[in-house]
Amino acid sequence: MASLTRVLTGAARAQLNITRQNIEDLRPLFGMPLVALVALGLLVHSGKTDLVHYALVAAVLMTIGQMGNFVASEIVFQERNEQTLELVVSSPAPYHLVLLARVLVLTSLGLVGALEAWLIARLCFGLSVPIYHPGLALLTLLATSVAAAGTALLTTALFALGTQVRTFQNAINGPLYLLGGVLVPVTFLPVWLQPVSPFVFFYWSANLLRAAFSPGEPEQVARGLGAILLLGVGTGLLGKLALSRMLDNLRRSGGLGLT
């Protein structure tokens, strides 16, 4: 147990140091505020200030999503390029645990997006957006960053495999946000698309977060949080499997080696 904690905290600390020296890792935190600004501007301009929480929910979920898909998913690819993969793999610590801690740090940094969006609403538009259920909002955000980390564990393994798969990286965010109802609730999607949405963790996250901004009693909280965590753990386990396969293949084919 002590060694597990040491591996996780060591890897998390290493990721924080890497990110501190590479501001590119924080790209989503610089780009996403502008998404919040546009969505808020659109709703305010349309006189729909009762819906401004839609903009906040979209901004924070997209920031977490971008941190997972565009930053955390690059880790294995970068480690292969910089030949640090060989060093980590040859250490006695399980590679998937090292990666898990690193992706979790990055997706958790996406939570800063919530603060940014809230500040934009307050400072740029003078809007005070009440959070009626702060506990629910906090739990949902934490569960979402865990689910995003699970997904990133899978995608970081897949994206390291080849350029065609990296094309997939550019493609998935749009459909995931749309199907997950990140900006617009899925009830506005065509009926035939809606059954797919519950398989996307963003769907549950967006619903719970919007409920946290509504005065009414939120419904099916445990079910929603459970679904987010279940989808996150499920993809995380698939990621562990994909990583093991990738490393086995690299070992067998002599693909690991320092030059």
Partner 1 sequence: MNALRVFRQGLVVGYRDFRDFWSLKSWVFGWMLRISTNAVAWVLLGRVIGSQARLEYLLVGNAIAAGPAAALWASNATTWARYDGTHPLLVIAPTSLIPAVMGRTSIWLFNGLMTATVTFVLLALAFGYQPAGSGAPLVPLVVLVVCASTYFFALFMGALLSNRSRWRNMALDIAGSFLLAFCGVSVPVSFWPAWVQSLVALLPVSHGLQAARVLLEGGPWGEAWRALLLELLVGAGWLVLGLFTMDRLFNGGRADGSIELS
**Residues contacting residue 132 through CB under 8 Å, at least 6 positions apart:** 212, 213, 214, 215
- The per-residue b/e assignment along 160-199, b for 16 or more CB within 10 angstroms, e otherwise, is bbeeeebeebeeebeebbbbbbbbeebeeeeeeeeeebee
Only one of the segments 39-47, 83-91, 95-103, 154-162 lies at the binding site for partner 1 (rule: CB under 8 A); that segment is: 39-47
Which residue's structure tokens are 């690193």? Answer: 102
How far is 64 from 6, CA to CA, in rounded Å?
26
The Cα-based distances of 237 to 92, 177, 192 in angstroms read: 20, 22, 29
- Residue nearer to partner 1 on the CB measure, 113 or 236: 113
Only one of the segments 30-38, 111-119, 132-140, 208-216 lies at the binding site for partner 1 (rule: CB under 8 A); that segment is: 30-38
Position 37 contacts partner 1 (CB under 8 A): yes
Only one of the segments 1-9, 21-29, 133-141, 244-252 lies at the binding site for partner 1 (rule: CB under 8 A); that segment is: 21-29
Position 39 contacts partner 1 (CB under 8 A): yes
Position 174 contacts partner 1 (CB under 8 A): yes
Phi, psi for 258 (deg, rounded to 5): -90, 135
Among 42, 93, 138, 237, binds partner 1 (CB under 8 A): 42
Position 75 contacts partner 1 (CB under 8 A): no
Helices assigned H by DSSP within 110-133: 112-125
- Residue nearer to partner 1 on the CB measure, 109 or 247: 109
Position 171 contacts partner 1 (CB under 8 A): yes
Structure tokens at 182: 């990140």
Report, in Å, the least distance between residue 258 CB and partner 1: 21
How far is 252 from 255, CA to CA, in rounded Å?
8
Only one of the segments 89-97, 166-174, 221-229, 238-246 lies at the binding site for partner 1 (rule: CB under 8 A); that segment is: 166-174
| DSSP conformational letter for 196 | G
Among 3, 5, 21, 46, binds partner 1 (CB under 8 A): 46
Position 45 contacts partner 1 (CB under 8 A): yes
Contact residues for partner 1 (CB under 8 A)? 23-24, 27, 30-31, 34-35, 37-39, 41-43, 45-46, 48, 51, 54, 163-164, 167-168, 170-175, 177-178, 182-185, 188-189
